[in-house]
Structure 1
Amino acid sequence: MRIIISAGVVAAALVLTGCASSTSSDGPASGPTAGTTVTSCGTELSVPSPPERAVTLEQGATEVMLALGLQDRMIGTSYLTDAVAPEWSDAYAGIPVLADQYPTTEQLREADPDFVYSMRASAFASEAAGNRQELVDLGVPAYLSANDCEDQTLIPDEVGFDAILDEVSDVARVFGVEERGRALVAEQRATLDEVTAAAADTGEPSVVWLYSSVNGAPVVAGANGLADTMGSVAGATNAFADLDAQWGETSWDEIAQRDPDVIVVADLTRGLPGDSADDKIDQLRSDAVTKGLRAVQDDHLVPVPATELDPSVRSIDALETVSTALTEYSEERR
Structure 2
Amino acid sequence: MRTALVASLVLLVSGCGATVASGPATSDPVTIANCGAEVTFPTVPSKVVTNDTGITEMMFALGLRDRMAGYVVNGVDTVDVRTSPWKADFDSAKHLSDKISKEVVQGANADLVFAGWNYGFSESTGFTPDALKGLGIATYQLTEACRNGVGKQRGIMPALDALYTDLRNLGKIFRVSDKAESLINEYQAQIDRAGKLMEGKPRPKVFLYDSGQDQPFTSGKNAAPQDVISKAGGDNIFGDLNDSWTTVSWETVVQRDPDVVLIVDYADGEANTPEQKQAFLEGFAPLANSPAVKGKKFFSLPYAALVEGPRNAASVEAFAKFLAENTGS
Confirm or deny a common fold (TM above 0.5).
Answer: yes
Q: Cα–Cα, structure 1 residues 261 and 100, in superposed 2: closer, same or farther, change >3 Å?
A: same
Equivalent positions of 1:9-24 (< 5 A) are none
Partner residue of 1:13?
Answer: none
Amino acid at match of 1:228: Q
**TM-score normalised according to structure 2 size:** 0.79
Aligned residues: 303
Q: Cα–Cα, structure 1 residues 120 and 60, in superposed 2: closer, same or farther, change >3 Å?
A: farther
- 1:306 is displaced (CA, Å) by 2.4
Alignment equivalent of 1:306, drawn from 281, 303, 307: 303
Partner residue of 1:180?
Answer: 179
Partner residue of 1:152?
Answer: 149
Q: Cα–Cα, structure 1 residues 140 and 244, in superposed 2: closer, same or farther, change >3 Å?
A: closer
Amino acid at match of 1:148: A
| Residues 1:209 and 2:208 are matched in the alignment | yes
**d(CA) in 1 for partners of 2:126 and 2:171?**
23
Equivalent positions of 1:1-334 (< 5 A) are 26-29=21-24, 32-80=26-74, 83-84=80-81, 85-103=83-101, 105-120=102-117, 123-125=120-122, 128=125, 130-133=127-130, 135-136=132-133, 140-150=137-147, 152=149, 157-214=156-213, 216-241=214-239, 245-246=243-244, 247-251=246-250, 255-270=253-268, 272-330=269-327, 333-334=328-329
Q: Secondary structure at the match of 2:325?
A: helix
**d(CA) in 2 for partners of 1:266 and 1:179?**
32
Conserved 8 A contact 2:72-2:95? yes
Q: Secondary structure at the match of 1:108?
A: helix
- 1:87 is displaced (CA, Å) by 2.1
**d(CA) in 1 for partners of 2:312 and 2:55?**
13
Partner residue of 2:17?
Answer: none
Q: Secondary structure at the match of 2:74?
A: coil
Percent identity reads 24
- 1:47 is displaced (CA, Å) by 2.1
- 1:48 is displaced (CA, Å) by 2.7
Task: Say which one has the larger Rg.
Answer: 1
Conserved 8 A contact 2:208-2:218? yes
CA RMSD across the alignment: 3.0
Amino acid at match of 1:183: S
Larger displacement relative to structure 2 (127-136 or 64-73): 127-136
Larger displacement relative to structure 2 (116-125 or 46-55): 116-125
Conserved 8 A contact 2:52-2:119? no
Q: Cα–Cα, structure 1 residues 44 and 139, in superposed 2: closer, same or farther, change >3 Å?
A: farther
Conserved 8 A contact 2:48-2:70? yes
Q: Cα–Cα, structure 1 residues 275 and 186, in superposed 2: closer, same or farther, change >3 Å?
A: same
Conserved 8 A contact 1:199-1:234? yes
Conserved 8 A contact 1:55-1:117? yes
Q: Cα–Cα, structure 1 residues 157 and 33, in superposed 2: closer, same or farther, change >3 Å?
A: closer
Q: Cα–Cα, structure 1 residues 156 and 293, in superposed 2: closer, same or farther, change >3 Å?
A: closer
Conserved 8 A contact 2:55-2:308? no
Higher relative contact order, chain-length normalized (CA < 8 Å, sep 6+): 2
Q: Secondary structure at the match of 2:58?
A: helix
**d(CA) in 1 for partners of 2:133 and 2:118?**
15
Q: Cα–Cα, structure 1 residues 249 and 68, in superposed 2: closer, same or farther, change >3 Å?
A: same
Deviations 1:124-173 (A, max 9, x none): 34564733145447654311022222563696554321121121121122
Amino acid at match of 1:52: S
Residue segments in structure 2 that go unaligned for 5+ positions in a row: 1-19
Q: Cα–Cα, structure 1 residues 191 and 285, in superposed 2: closer, same or farther, change >3 Å?
A: same
